[in-house]
Amino acid sequence: MELTAKQLAEILHGTVDGDPDVKIRTFAKIEHGKPGALSFYANPKYEEYVYASKADVLLVNMDFQPREKVGPTMVRVENAYSAVAELLKYVADQRRKYRRHRGCGCRIAWSAHLGRRVSVGSNSVIGKNCRIGDYGIIHSNVTIGEGVVIGHHCIIYPGVVIYPGSKIGDNVILHAGCIIGSDGFGNAPQPDGSWKKIEHLGNVVIGNDVEIGSCTTIDRAEMESTIIGNGVRIDNLCQIAHNVVIGDNTVMAAQCGIAGSAIIGKNCIFAGQVGVMGHIKVADNTTVGAQAGIAGAVRKSGEILLGSPAIPHMLYMRSYAKFKQAGAE
């Protein structure tokens, strides 16, 4: 889409320093600025690019005072970093204006109920007794099982599979290829050394304002529910096992694995490849460094943990210093 500097200032509640009629059609990093693009300057270490930028419009903080001449028109805002996030959301919302659409080959059960202006892409399947809220966007090749409930303003990207009985709140984004509600890894050992599958009859419940990354799997419970709280963000290629509970506003980076029946608190931050042992609790506001392994309960709120098995970060740093010293000797 095309926007003038004046329109940008109106959207972002800023002011124009330069030509108000200059137009932008795309976005670029400040070091890659080009004609027709908008860039932003928020980090002082990138100031050299401000003066060399070929972008037509530059978002800057209101108090920025250039040391040299600036070529692009500047749109001054209170916080350039927050403003560019707001602008990206505005453009994304404009691009996906809600409209009712039915793609070729989609199959919708007669007993399913779809709300207002729900879009369904080609070759998608919606099972019996499903309920999908208003203004949902279901892309192509999505499979939604029997009895699934999906809230308003949800986006389901191509290749997503939602197993029967799953419940999904409002404003949820499920990225391509994620699986919601598959059986958990439950097997009972037998006297002859073989394994017998334990049937999973529960479901997955996802709260409001949740985003699940591509190819992430969330297993349904053996009984009751696997629960993902409101505001949770889970990155690509994560594994959430059966009967897990993840508290509100917790975030997990790529390749995290949470074993069965673990309970993760609210407002936690897990870096990439964190592993959590099953049947333990992790307190609210816990931060866990990359590749850490949590092998026991975390009872104190606000801990920062590193290592495998994970320990408090200051203890880890002292231990690491000892390791380095021993290696040098």
pLDDT of residue 93: 76
pLDDT of residue 143: 97
pLDDT of residue 56: 93
pLDDT of residue 322: 84
pLDDT, averaged in runs of 10, over the chain (329 residues): 89 92 91 91 90 92 91 93 88 68 87 94 96 95 97 96 97 97 93 93 97 98 95 98 98 97 98 96 97 95 95 89 76
Q: Which fold has domain 160-316?
A: UDP N-Acetylglucosamine Acyltransferase; domain 1 (2.160.10)
Region(s) of the chain under CATH 3.40.1390.10? 3-95
- How many of the other CB atoms lie within 10 Å of CB of 307? 18
Region(s) of the chain under CATH 2.160.10.10? 160-316
Between CA 285 and CA 304 the distance in angstroms is 9
242 in catalytic set: yes
Half-sphere exposure of residue 198: CA atoms within 13 angstroms, side-chain side? 13
pLDDT of residue 97: 62
Q: Are 74 and 93 in contact (CB under 8 A)?
A: no
pLDDT of residue 99: 60
Find out if CATH 3.10.20.30 is the number for domain 3-95.
no
Q: pTM of the prediction? A: 0.80
Choosing from 113, 242, 279, 313, which is the catalytic residue?
A: 242
Between CA 236 and CA 264 the distance in angstroms is 18
Whole-number Cα distances in Å, 289 to 199, 273, 304, 312: 35, 9, 8, 10
Whole-number Cα distances in Å, 124 to 96, 141, 158, 218: 19, 4, 9, 20
Q: Which one-letter amino acid corresponds to residue 283? A: A
Residue-wise over 77-91: b if at least 16 C-beta within 10 A, else e?
A: beebeebbeebeeee
